[in-house]
């Protein structure tokens, strides 16, 4: 750590609140700080303003998944009388270049409207482009200037974990960042990792006509998810031509005749696979390196995330953390934003606010989407609930037949003694659009009886949640529509 004395020549500025990072968490905190009238500085570098979600995460990935969904619908709409039409074959019938160009333009517009313009309206917030580094508990150095802060928020996010695979650097690989701005569509792609990012990108490229092999270290995809849903999703992936290799340990990578090669060990058997590109989606690491945190006494956990209390305080009570960099239970755009807002309030208005993560929904944007909120069956049991579950397939949901999409599954987890709804897990087209109903049920500690008083619109896929609840109290085979 440079000694404060050596930095005396540097220009010094004083703020009530200094935010390091200009992503979802940083922005939400800046908006709250502005509302509270605090003299605030927001520092950002690395990714452009807006951070991961708008630039290289949620927005561009969904903008690329949607065209794949459209191509898939052309080929597999299952409507008798309309001949299917496969436009994705070898990428011959559509322009990959145009898809990427449009995706990047959606990103640029969102960044301008939701971040740059918003920042311009915050009268108490000064923006500084540069990398921040603590030189003392109350001083952050940026571009040779010292910012003195009463309170701080660290919201520096996370980045794709560099793979520890022999030869992969030399062979070359993509992360989600490069994969969303390719100039050419790979004809074949080896995806390492079967978590949310691996699954979304595998289906995105497969539906555009790329031959995809998904390499998973685990016995099944989404090992922490509900097995009934994960198995169904895996079945759908395989039907769409995505090859999934389980229990696969990557030994090394190299380049052979212009192709990338990966050597795997699958339960002791050695196998070689080849592709035009390798996409690494094996996890993300918090951006704590180079911030000087160890020197000032901010504690990190074993995964290098900042040890963060539910009230967003770190081990130093005037420094808060929010978003992907913090050791909190979820890493989503929504939680990052909410944590940023609460951290600013707790830092500047002496509140002690925190998030109830159990009622926060999340979604893996495959098609069908995997949306979830609350506890899984296994988690509920581990927490000591005598839990009851019902699993209902979309053959029982009238709207699914109308859409020719019976490939969904819904699972509801309930506390058997109090009948409180503990978890809702849905694999269905557009499941993200209606998981919020499950979130409200959990947030309000609804019992099955209370939940069943509500009337979903007929015919909708949201009705699946009510049908899952009915499965606890009725024989679904004896139900008519809307009963």
Find where tokens 């052309």 sit.
74
Backbone angles phi, psi at 43, to 5 degrees: -110, 135
Cα–Cα distance for residue pair 53/69, rounded to 1 Å: 21
Render 82-111 in DSSP notation, one character per residue: S------GGG-SS-HHHHHHHHHHHHHHHH
Binding-residue total with ligand FAD (CB under 6 A): 36
Work out whether 212 is an interface residue with ligand FAD (CB under 6 A).
no
Shortest distance (Å) from residue 323 CB to ligand FAD: 2
- CA 34 – CA 331 distance, rounded (Å): 25
Per CB under 6 A, does 360 bind ligand FAD?
no
Nearer to ligand FAD, 225 or 463 (CB): 225
Instruction: Please answer whether residues 278 and 192 qualify as being in contact, where contact means their C-beta atoms are separated by less than 8 angstroms.
Output: yes
Q: Which of residues 100-139 bind ligand FAD (CB under 6 A)?
A: 131-132
Q: Is 333 in the site for ligand FAD (CB under 6 A)?
A: yes
For 350, residues 6+ apart whose C-beta sits below 8 A from its C-beta are none
58 contributes a contact to ligand FAD by CB under 6 A? yes
Using CB under 6 A as the binding rule, whether residue 53 contacts ligand FAD is answered as yes
Decide if residue 369 touches ligand FAD (CB under 6 A).
no
Q: Are strands 277-280 and 284-286 parallel, antiparallel or unpaired?
A: unpaired
Per CB under 6 A, does 20 bind ligand FAD?
yes
Site for ligand FAD in 166-185 (CB under 6 A): 176
Tell me the backbone φ, ψ of residue 475, rounded to 5 degrees.
-85, 110
61 binds ligand FAD (CB under 6 A): yes
Structure tokens at 399: 């709207």
Stretch that binds ligand FAD, among 50-58, 71-79, 119-127, 378-386 (CB under 6 A): 50-58
- Residue 24 binding ligand FAD, by CB under 6 A: yes
Sign of the CA dihedral running 135, 140, 145, 149: negative
Which of 155, 342, 439, 471: binder of ligand FAD (CB under 6 A)? 155
Q: Give 434: exposed, middle or buried? Use CB within 10 Å, 0-12, 13-18, 19+.
A: buried
Q: Applying CB under 6 A, which of residues 17, 18, 19, 23 lies at the interface with ligand FAD? A: 23
At closest approach, how far in Å is the CB of 396 from ligand FAD?
28
Which one of 63-71, 154-162, 226-234, 379-387 is the stretch in contact with ligand FAD (CB under 6 A)? 154-162
CB of 263 to ligand FAD, least distance (A): 27
Tell which one of 332, 355, 431, 461 touches ligand FAD (CB under 6 A).
Answer: 332
Torsion angle of the four alpha carbons 35, 41, 46, 50, in this order, in degrees rounded to the nearest 10: 10
Measured N-to-C along each axis, helices 333-348 and 24-35 cross at an angle, to the nearest 10 degrees, of: 30
Please choose, out of 20-28, 435-443, 457-465, 473-481, the segment that lies near ligand FAD by the rule CB under 6 A: 20-28
Contacting residues toward ligand FAD, per CB under 6 A:
20-26, 43-47, 51-53, 57-58, 61, 131-132, 155-157, 176, 197, 287, 291, 323-325, 331-334, 336, 365
């Amino acid at each position: 750590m440079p000694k404060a004395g050596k930095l005396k020549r540097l220009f010094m500025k004083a703020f009530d609140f200094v935010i390091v990072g200009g992503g979802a968490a940083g922005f939400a905190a800046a908006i709250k700080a502005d509302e509270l009238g605090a003299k605030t500085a927001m520092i950002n570098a690395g990714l452009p303003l807006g951070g991961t979600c708008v630039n290289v995460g949620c927005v561009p990935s969904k903008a690329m998944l949607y065209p794949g969904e459209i191509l898939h619908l052309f080929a597999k709409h299952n409507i008798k009388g309309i001949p299917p039409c496969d436009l994705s074959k070898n990428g011959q019938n559509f322009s990959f270049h145009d898809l990427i160009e449009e995706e990047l333009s959606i990103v640029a517009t969102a960044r301008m409207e939701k971040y740059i313009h918003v920042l311009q309206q915050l009268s108490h917030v000064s923006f500084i482009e540069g990398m921040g580094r603590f030189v003392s508990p109350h001083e952050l150095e940026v571009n040779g200037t010292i910012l003195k802060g009463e309170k701080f928020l660290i919201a520096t996010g996370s980045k794709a974990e560099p793979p520890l695979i022999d030869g992969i650097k030399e062979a070359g690989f993509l992360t989600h960042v490069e994969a969303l701005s390719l100039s050419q569509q790979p004809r074949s792609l080896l995806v390492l990792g079967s978590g949310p990012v691996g699954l979304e990108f595998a289906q995105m490229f497969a539906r555009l006509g790329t031959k995809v092999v998904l390499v998973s270290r685990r016995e099944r995809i989404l090992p922490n998810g509900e097995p009934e849903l994960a198995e169904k999703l895996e079945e759908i992936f395989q039907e769409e031509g995505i090859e999934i290799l389980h229990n696969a340990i990557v030994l090394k990578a190299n380049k052979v005749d212009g192709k990338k090669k990966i050597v795997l060990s699958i339960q002791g058997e050695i196998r070689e696979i080849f592709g035009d590109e390798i996409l690494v989606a094996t996890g993300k690491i918090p951006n704590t390196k180079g911030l000087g945190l160890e020197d000032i006494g901010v504690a990190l956990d074993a995964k290098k995330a900042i040890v963060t209390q539910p009230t967003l305080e770190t081990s130093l009570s005037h420094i808060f953390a929010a978003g992907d960099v913090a050791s909190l239970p979820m890493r989503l755009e929504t939680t990052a934003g909410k944590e940023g807002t609460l951290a600013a309030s707790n830092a500047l208005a002496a509140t002690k606010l925190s998030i109830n993560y159990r009622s926060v929904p999340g979604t893996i944007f495959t098609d069908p989407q995997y949306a979830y909120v609350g506890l899984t069956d296994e988690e509920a049991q581990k927490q000591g609930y005598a839990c009851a579950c019902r699993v209902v397939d979309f053959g029982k949901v009238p709207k699914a037949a109308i859409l020719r999409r019976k490939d969904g599954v819904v699972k509801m987890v309930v506390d058997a003694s109090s009948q409180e709804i503990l978890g809702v897990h849905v694999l269905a087209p557009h499941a993200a659009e209606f998981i919020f109903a499950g979130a409200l049920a959990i947030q309000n500690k609804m019992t099955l009886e209370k939940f069943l008083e509500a009337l979903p619109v007929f015919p909708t896929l949201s009705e699946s949640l009510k049908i899952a609840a009915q499965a606890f109290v009725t024989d679904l085979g004896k139900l008519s529509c809307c009963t």
